[in-house]
Structure 1
């Protein structure tokens, strides 16, 4: 039995590895096709198809998309909106979860259920009320309309997650801090925040990427070219007759690279946050 155990574990590990490699290839194939076709000329694409390697590097598609949509401006808009939403949503989630998970407000369970149900609403339901609201307050076609909307949406999920985490927070730690004379704000910033920092960092990364990839609400509320985000700018050119397949692939590549770079930069932070949460 002792000899068969390790062999069985090794065999199962190989199966898991093979499945992981297969899934990775399925995910990587579309990205590889985008990368290949981004550097093809239209003639090269028409003659060899989408699967063949380019005969030479062709940068006109990338340059054409870069100049046509003013890509640096769209990149800044996406970074500004996604960054502000990530920071504000994490902060609001932490304050709400502290009140619900540690403060033990009355009706805590019903409030959490209400937040969860609100988070399940489709974005299409929110479009007309928010459109009318932002028109009235003068925030229509303003990045802050998208920032406010997604801060509330993302913080609903963050509140639900963090309230469950804070609900299991060690009472001994909180009581010791209170005996030392710490108030609620001091307990929050000097005790709860440092311990839950790995979880907050994971939420920050997810909120940034989720907001970056959003399309419907930015398309509805940011109508001027100067305020559009990268996904909206890419889609706005899909119906342009001047757009060819290689330029479309180049636009997809430029839209993908920032989130990929952001993920690679904060990969260790994400891994440490998930690991720390699992250990705790």
Structure 2
């Protein structure tokens, strides 16, 4: 009676004589090295993105004489708030800041509401031509603003909305809701049909299903959209520049762009202006960072 032995196949890169513990440690070592490489690359990219903010921060409070003597990379020896105060009072920054908050906040909330209603009709309502409608929405948020500025200019003048915050709010809310509708429709398209059927059997109307079932479950995704819409609107420059020519209605980004030529010869004042424009959006992002990450993680799990 012959006994046949079956040998376990081992990878060609690892000899069979190497103990399993050693092979396991080598695998962990390779994964550890690749993890450190990825971490270093991410850290370098983060430093490159934060470098302009750091330059604006240290030069905004630096006296002009120190900037000329030590250059833009040196830390200030004394804090000088004069450049920031002069810029704040010179452009009436309180009004510009209020305009940006009103426009960005209104656009974020209205665009999120339009996105939810449109996605509810497309994703759950299952209207006819759903694929073609989503294709239209996808095309809408890929069209550059330069291609839309002339018809929007004529339209706002005809409707009496030119040089009004309401006109910019309506236009940006509709434009940004195209992305929100496309994103939410794909989420609601895979919504559990059993939950909706149970709600209908219990006598819930479409409005009740939307408010009591769909809205609570999509709240993290809506929070992500509101955050994105606010930051995108805050940084938007082209449409507010064309549609808001008067100084009383200008946003922060338009005010900074219009004054960049004035402060070209004064780099500390230009740094102060940049810092004043960056800080509000940065603070908003820090406040809603956990909400943003929670929504992204929930979307990834789903």
TM-score bucket of the superposed structures, by smaller chain? over 0.9
| 1:219 match | 241
* Cα distance in 1 between the residues matched to 2:70 and 2:284: 34
Residue segments in structure 2 that go unaligned for 5+ positions in a row? 1-22
Give the secondary structure class of the aligned counterpart of 1:3.
helix
| 2:157 match | 135
- Which residue among 122, 137, 144 is the counterpart of 1:115? 137
1:57 is displaced (CA, Å) by: 1.2
- Which residue among 169, 193, 199 is the counterpart of 1:177? 199
TM-score for both structures, normalised by structure 1: 0.97
1:223-248 Cα distance to aligned partner (Å, 9 max, x none) = 11110000111111112268611000
> 5 Å matches for 1:59-78?
59-78=81-100
2:50 is equivalent to residue 40 of structure 1: no
Contact 2:138 2:179 in 1 (8 A): yes
1:133 is displaced (CA, Å) by: 1.1
1:79-130 Cα distance to aligned partner (Å, 9 max, x none) = 0000000000000000000001110101111111011112211101111111
2:214 is equivalent to residue 209 of structure 1: no
Alpha-carbon RMSD = 1.1
> 5 Å matches for 1:83-102?
83-102=105-124
- Which residue among 4, 7, 11 is the counterpart of 2:33? 11
2:53 is equivalent to residue 31 of structure 1: yes
| 1:253 match | 275
Contact 2:263 2:270 in 1 (8 A): no
Larger Rg: 2
1:209-262 Cα distance to aligned partner (Å, 9 max, x none) = 000000000011111111000011111111226861100000000100001110
Where does structure 1 differ by over 6 angstroms across 4 or more consecutive aligned residues? none
TM-score for both structures, normalised by structure 2: 0.90
Residue segments in structure 1 that go unaligned for 5+ positions in a row? none
| Gap change, CA 1:137 and 1:13, over 3 Å in 2 | same
* Cα distance in 2 between the residues matched to 1:202 and 1:264: 13
Size of the aligned set, in residue pairs, is 280
| 2:20 match | none
* Cα distance in 2 between the residues matched to 1:210 and 1:131: 21
> 5 Å matches for 1:41-56?
41-56=63-78
1:55 is displaced (CA, Å) by: 2.7
Structure with higher helix content: 1
